[in-house]
């Protein structure tokens, strides 16, 4: 009889207030590949342009260094301190701009990065925006350095 009462009590436990499934974040295979095996990580020894930006909300930091020649980005490297998506976005960004024209790089959008990574969770969209903003700041630094010559 006691055993029956115990099982009744166990069955009467309330449902959890949250679901583990809702808090589980899924990343695409492309995003995980760029996070686990980042491309072009580090700094260039003598960059033509560079920029470093920080997201004031989450604290992610992205540094981008570029080498340009004849209107082409010949090399790109990044350093990131932040979430999985920020590191993946920095990695993909360097792949997308290397050996491309400045005009091509200027037209890249956060949606291009998101698509290239197989999608981002809404909570991670800030990472793609930070990468594009850092690219635009680096390109602006190229223009400033050319104006001073």
- Radius of gyration of the chain measured on its C-alpha atoms: 22
Does residue 33 lie in a domain region?
A: yes
pLDDT for 90: 97
pLDDT for 145: 58
Taking only the tens place, the pLDDT of each residue in 82-130 is 999 999 999 999 999 999 999 999 999 999 999 999 999 888 999 999 9
Does residue 15 lie in a domain region?
A: no
Does residue 2 lie in a domain region?
A: no
How far apart CA 98 and CA 49 sit, in angstroms, is 13
Does residue 20 lie in a domain region?
A: no
pLDDT for 72: 96
Q: Could you tell me where the DSSP H helices lie in the chain?
A: 2-11, 20-23, 29-36, 84-97, 102-107, 110-116, 125-147
Task: Show the domain range for 130.
Answer: 25-147
Taking only the tens place, the pLDDT of each residue in 55-82 is 988 899 999 999 999 999 999 999 999 9
Looking at the structure of the chain, the number of domains it has is 1
Residue 141, domain CATH: 3.90.1010.10
Q: How confident is the model at residue 19 (pLDDT cuts 50, 70, 90)?
A: very low
Does residue 138 lie in a domain region?
A: yes
Does residue 8 lie in a domain region?
A: no
Does residue 75 lie in a domain region?
A: yes
Average pLDDT over residues 2-8: 50
pTM of the model: 0.79
Does residue 30 lie in a domain region?
A: yes
């Amino acid at each position: 009889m006691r055993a029956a009462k115990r099982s009744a009590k166990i069955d009467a436990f309330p449902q959890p207030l949250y679901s583990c499934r809702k808090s589980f974040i899924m990343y695409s295979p492309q995003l995980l590949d760029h996070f686990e095996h980042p491309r072009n990580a580090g700094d260039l020894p003598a960059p033509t342009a560079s920029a470093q930006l920080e997201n004031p909300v989450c604290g992610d930091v992205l540094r981008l260094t570029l080498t340009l020649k004849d209107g082409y980005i010949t090399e790109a490297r990044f350093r990131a301190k932040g979430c999985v998506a920020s590191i993946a976005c920095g990695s993909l960004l360097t792949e997308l701009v290397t050996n491309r024209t400045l005009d091509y790089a200027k037209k890249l959008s956060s949606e291009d990065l998101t698509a290239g990574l197989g999608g981002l969770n809404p909570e991670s969209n800030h990472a793609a925006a930070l990468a594009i903003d850092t690219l635009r700041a680096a390109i602006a630094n190229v223009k400033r350095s050319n104006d001073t010559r």
